[in-house]
Structure formats: structure tokens, C-alpha cells
Structure 1
Amino acid sequence: MNEKTTEQTSSALRPPFSSRPIPPPSTAANSSNPTARELVHQNGHIDPNQGHALASGQPVLDSVTTIPLTPEDSLPTISGRNNEAYLANDDPRQFLKHDLDLSRLNRIHGHLWMAGRPMRARPLHRYRMLGMEVLGTQQMDLHLLKYSNKLLVKPLPEWMLSYDFWREHICQPGDADSNNNVKREEGWLWKSAAGFLVSYVWLITTPLDLKIAHECTLLPSFITWHWWKDFVRDFMHHVDINTLHQVNKRYQFGDLRLGRINSTYRIRYAHTHFVRGYLYGYNRYVIFFQRNFSWILIVFVFFSLVLSAMQVGSGLKELEDNYAFLRASYVFVVFSMISVVAVLAFVTIVFIGIFLFNMVKAIAHAASEPKKRTKAAEQKQEAGKNV
């Protein structure tokens, strides 16, 4: 395998697969789109909306998910961080730097062994057998993270399968930079994108996996089983999926536990992420306390059973004069009372702390954001005057 694998260098990066049209020409796809003559023959008339679509050259389809997209059309409308937005088609390179960013996981790569094993991800049908529900996400650093019975999966876009798009945007030099104090070497976009394709080689290994992926809208609609098998065979001639030395180091692991990654971030970066962790998924305090403190109720149930047994034992003749038993009962009763008070105090402090943190953040954001927008508007007006 190593002999067949094409070595990639930062000075001469190439797409990790051969050139093929995206979407591929398909008579089946065209036959599913009725023409004006067919509509007249079937219905006797043409609906005004359908007639407008036909006149403009747009396909008439029952579902938008079946529309084959070009790589450029598969880009999102807008992209950007925080409140700064731009049209993705106007700056594909900047979009890729945001979309393929794995720096947050790479920061804690040395601790990822606590969140998952260094092995490939399971095929999709195995996750379904385990009762996992697949949820779509557009954030690369959430791809293949799992919590409870949920698995986050980033859909595979058309542009990721386009040879020309790779050559024009991903394989170009000049992507070395630093983000959040993380230095990124030349070619990191290629490694991240290639690793993402490796993850789909893991996920889709049988026709059943492909069917599940289409049901979850994870793949472009034109991908068939024969197309996918040819693509994987071609891809494995360029990227070694066993050594994984050509892809981002995040893909040395398959699926990862989101809860443990959250804990790692809260401990490793306590000064900035103690409250929100890696991914803050709570929008109500009730859910937060249910997920994080429900185990306390189980502990108190055992406490109540032990206290009830001690109460019964103290009434028995065999134990009513037993000094050791009475002493142990006394200590456990006092310990239980102190534990209840301590737990209630801790929960109260946590609630107040999170409430104050969110309130301060909301007030600060509400005060700073209008100023930023006003300043940006003034700069834009000033630039317009100078033109």
C-alpha cells in the first residue's frame, strides 16, 4: 500500500483522487426532471410556477435534496466567524480556512486518548445497530463527536469531491498561518480535507451504509454505490488510510466522546473554558442540572436505604446495646446531614456562578456589538466618500 500511495509535499500538492466531472452526467437524473411537453401531456396544462422554472432553465423537482449541484453551488451562502459575514463564493479560500479548521481538537491532541481509541470510526450501519442517531453538523471540529445516543456527522459537500476545486483552492500554497495561538504549517488545508475524506471511507463500506447516508442527507444525491467504490479505490492509491501520515492528526482517532472533550477543555483551559467547555449545549438551566447532577439523586437513594436499615437495627435487642453499631449509625447520620447541606450549597453556588457569567457576557456583548457595527458602518461610508 505504501508503494502505491502518492507522497504529497507542500511544494507540489495534488488532489488525492483523479479528475472526474461533478456532478457526473447522468441520464437517470435528467429523466427524473419532466420537460414542458411531458408536463402538458401528463396534466393537460403547465402550472405558472413550473412554467417559469422551465423558462429559466431550472429543473422541476419534488425535493430540493435531489438537485445535483456544481462545486461552486454547493458552497454556503455566507460564512465567517462571530458576527462578521461574507459571501462564501466571493472568497472560497477564506471559507476553507474556516470550514476545515481543526485547531481546537489539535490543541488537545495529547489528551484525545481519554475521549476515544486510536482506531477508525465504525461504518454507519454499526452506529445504527448501537442505537445511535446521526445528527448533521457543518462544523468540522464537531465531526464524529458523540454524546448520549447522538453522533454528529458533517455532510460531504460536492466541492470536496471536485478535482478542479481542490486544484484551484485547496492545493494552492499560502495557507500557513496562526489561529488562537496555534501555528499551522503549509498544506494544512490539504491534510484536513484529506482526513475528512478518510472519515467517509470509514463510514461507508457497504451499500447499506450508502443508503443510510442518503437517508440522513450526508452525501450528494448523485453518488451511487458503483461511483463510490471507484472513488474509494482511486483515493486509496493517493492516501494511505492505514498509516494516516498524510492527513490531519485528528483522524488518528475515529469517533470521540464530546463529554470527555468538554471536561478536558474545562480543566486544561479553565481560565477561559471552565463554564462553556468545548461545546456548550445547554439553553435551559433545567437541562444542565438534569444532565450533570442527576447522579446525586441515586446517591441519596442509597443513603436513605442505609439510614432506614440503621433505624430498624437500632430497635433490635441484639443491636440496641451494641456500642460500635450505635457509633457507626451516629457518624453516618451526621455525615448524611452534612452531605445534603454541602450538595445543596454547591448546586446553588454553581447556579449563581453560571447565571452571573451568562448575564455579564450578555451585557458586555450587548454593549460592544452596536459600537462595532456603528464603527464598521462609519468606515464603510468614509471609504465610499474617498472613492
Structure 2
Amino acid sequence: FLCSELFVPRLNGIHRYLWLAGWNESVHPLHWHLMVKRKIVVTEDPDMHLVCTDQAIFVKPLPISLLNYHVYLHHLSNHDTLSAAARGFLRTYSRLVIHESDFLLAQQHYLLPSSMKWLDWSLLSAQFTVIPINSVNRRYRYGELRLSRLNLIYRVWCGRLMYFRLHRSYTAYFANQYKGSLVLFAYTTVIHTALQTMLNAEDSCLNLVLCRVSLWFGTLTIIFVVISVMFQTLYLLIVFLFNLQATL
């Protein structure tokens, strides 16, 4: 039971690349996430604990068993890997819940037991704060991790489509993927329009230079659009086949 609650095999598997997804020990308190318009989303997957997007942060509730000294003494103290994961997890909570407002938010989202009092938590979290960083699971040497970066790491270095699929439909997924392409298309359109306007000038020398620039820029734009469409089509096919295989 404790293994499924604490082990983070996926994140440990890509630990060497986690610097791309987050900063060392960067964990903000819960109230801060509300300040930057993020939702607090409960997850039971330890691999998703402190994974965030622009709109949400995933937080795993604190298992009550970790607050029981007898459980720690009999099940964790003699298991180095498990105890390191437990220490790292508890250490994150000492940074998530700092103020009483964080404590109330944690209880509202069922992250902490409703029967616990603020004073009790203050005394308890003070012990978690002093846990040395070199004694925790290596995943917890990093704090919050960007989901978009984790997905990128999985695509490039793991040969997988994504770490976690946030969108449950093709429409929503590809609408999010095409945002960057639309911005690039807008900039390209503005540049083409500016070049066309400048070509209408009467300066022949300037027109000669602009003609060459326009020719090269137009050619590169066409090549880019063709490659982009081919790539997006291929990627859509791969996503479809991956999902089809998963359902068989």
C-alpha cells in the first residue's frame, strides 16, 4: 500500500532531465497558486504530485499513515527507498502549507485530515522542514514540474507520446497544439504584408533588394508550411494509432 502511495518510478526514470521541467526545491504555498489563477487539483498518483500547468497544480493528499509514528517505525524505517520517498513527500508539504490560509485550503481540498488543528500542523510541519535534502528521494530534489516540459521529455527521450494526457478529445488536444502555429502564421502574414508595401515604393534599388528578400522569404514560408502540415498530419496519425492500440 505504501509503495503505491509514495513511489515515483516514472519521474525517477527521467530524473536526469527534470532540470528542464522545474527548479530545485521550488515549491510554492497553496495560496500562491490561487493568486496566479491556478486551480488545486487532487490526484492520487504520486508521479503527478506537484505537476503543474498554467491553469492547475496537481497535489496528492497527505496519507494519514505517514502521520502515524508506529507505521513509520515498523514499515518505513527499515526500508531505505520507501523512507526516502516518504521524507521527500513530507518535505513538500512543509512548503505547500506554511500559513493558516494554506492549511484551510488543504483541508478544503481534502489534502489534510479535517480533524487536524492548525497548531498541531504547525508543530508537525516544523519537523518536516528540517529534513535534509540529501536524505530524500531524488525526485523531491526538484519541486513543481511543468507538465508541458514533462510531455516534451517523454517524446524526445522516452519515445512516448506524453507523460500525461490532459485533453480527452482530439479537438481540444490539437487546438492547444496549434496555438504556436497560429501565432507564427500571424507574424509571417505581417512580414509578407510589409514586404509587399515596401515593394510598391518607387526606389528601384530598394525594390531589387526587396524582390530577392521576398523571393527567399516566400519560398521558405511555403516550405515551412508544407513541412508543418506533413508533420502535424503524421503526428495526428501516430496519436490515433497509439490510442487505438491502447483500446484493443
TM-score by length of 2: 0.91
**1:280 counterpart SS class:** coil
Change (3 A) 1:307 1:320: farther
Change (3 A) 1:264 1:348: same
Q: State the match for 1:304 in structure 2.
A: 189
Q: Is the 8 A contact 2:24 2:143 kept in 1?
A: yes
Which residue of the partner structure matches residue 223 of structure 2? 338
Output one character per residue of 1:351-374: Cα deviation in whole Å (capped at 9) or x when no partner.
1222122223323xxxxxxxxxxx
> For 2:178, what is the secondary structure of its paired residue?
helix
Q: Which amino acid aligns with 1:263?
A: L
Match of 2:115 in 1: 222
Using the alignment, how far apart are the partners of 1:125 and 1:281 within structure 2?
23
% of aligned pairs identical? Answer: 31
2:130 match = 240
Q: What do residues 32-79 of structure 1 show as CA deviations (whole Å, max 9, x unaligned)?
A: xxxxxxxxxxxxxxxxxxxxxxxxxxxxxxxxxxxxxxxxxxxxxxxx
| Mapped pair 1:208 → 2:101 | yes
Output the CA distance in 2 between the equivalents of 1:360 and 1:265. 18
Secondary structure of the structure 1 residue equivalent to 2:203: helix
Distance in 2 between residues matched to 1:200 and 1:122, nearest whole Å:
10
- Larger helix proportion, structure 1 or 2? 2
**Cα distance change, pair 210–313 in 1 and its aligned pair in 2 (3 A):** same
Q: CA RMSD in A?
A: 2.0
Shift of 1:319: 4.6
Q: Is the 8 A contact 2:201 2:207 kept in 1?
A: no
Letter of the structure 2 residue corresponding to residue 279 of structure 1: F
Aligned residues: 248
Select 1:250's aligned residue among 129, 139, 142: 139
Q: Is 1:326 aligned to 2:216, yes or no? A: no
Q: Is the 8 A contact 2:93 2:125 kept in 1?
A: no
Q: Aligned letter for 1:97?
A: C
For 1:29, the equivalent position in structure 2 comes to none
- Structural mapping, 1:56-205, within 5 Å: 95-171=1-77, 173=78, 186-205=79-98
Q: Measure, in 2, the Cα distance between the counterparts of 1:116 and 1:321.
A: 48
Cα distance in 2, alignment partners of residues 320 and 289 from structure 1 = 45
Distance 1:158 1:321, change over 3 A: closer
For residues 225 and 144 of structure 1, the distance between their equivalents in structure 2, rounded to whole angstroms, comes to: 22
Is the deviation greater in 96-105 or in 329-338?
329-338
Shift of 1:222: 0.9
SS at match of 2:58: strand
Distance 1:232 1:302 in 2: 50
- The answer to whether the 8 A contact 1:313-1:319 is kept is no
Does residue 288 of structure 1 match 2:173? yes
The alpha carbon displacement at 1:320 in A equals 8.2
Could you say if the C-alpha distance between residues 356 and 319 of structure 1 is closer, same or farther in structure 2, counting changes exceeding 3 Å?
A: farther
Instruction: Give me the whole-angstrom Cα distance separating, in 1, the residues matched to 2:157 and 2:206.
Output: 53
- Report deviation, 1:328: 1.4
Alpha-carbon distance in 1 for matches of 2:13, 2:24: 17
The whole-number CA distance in structure 2 between the counterparts of 1:102 and 1:356 is: 28
CA deviation after TM superposition for structure 1 residue 120, in Å: 4.3
Q: SS of the residue aligned with 1:278? A: coil
- More deviation in 308-317 or 295-304? 308-317
Asked whether 1:269 is paired with 2:146, we answer no
| Structure 2 residue corresponding to 1:358, chosen from 232, 236, 243 | 243
Q: Distance in 1 between matches of 2:58 and 2:93?
A: 13
- Structure 1 counterpart SS, 2:232: helix
Unaligned 5+ residue runs, structure 2? none
Decide whether aligned partners of structure 1 residues 316 and 250 sit closer, same or farther in structure 2, where only a CA change above 3 A counts: same
Bigger Rg, structure 1 or 2: 1
Amino acid at match of 1:303: T
Q: What letter is aligned with 1:294? A: K
Secondary structure at the aligned position of 1:151 is classed as strand
The structural deviation recorded for 1:310 is 2.2
2:221 and 2:9 mapped to 1: Cα distance?
A: 46
Separation (CA, whole Å) in 2 of partners of 1:359 and 1:166:
43
Rounded to whole Å, the distance in 1 between the matches of 2:138 and 2:207 is 63
1:240–1:246 Cα contact (<8 Å) kept: no
TM-score (norm 1): 0.60
Aligned equivalents of 2:49 and 2:241: distance in 1?
Answer: 32
Between the aligned partners of 1:151 and 1:278, the Cα distance in structure 2 is: 15
Could you list the runs of 4 or more consecutive aligned residues of structure 1 that deviate by over 4 angstroms after TM superposition? none
- Encode CA deviations 1:250-271: one digit per residue, 9 max, x unaligned: 211211112112211222212x
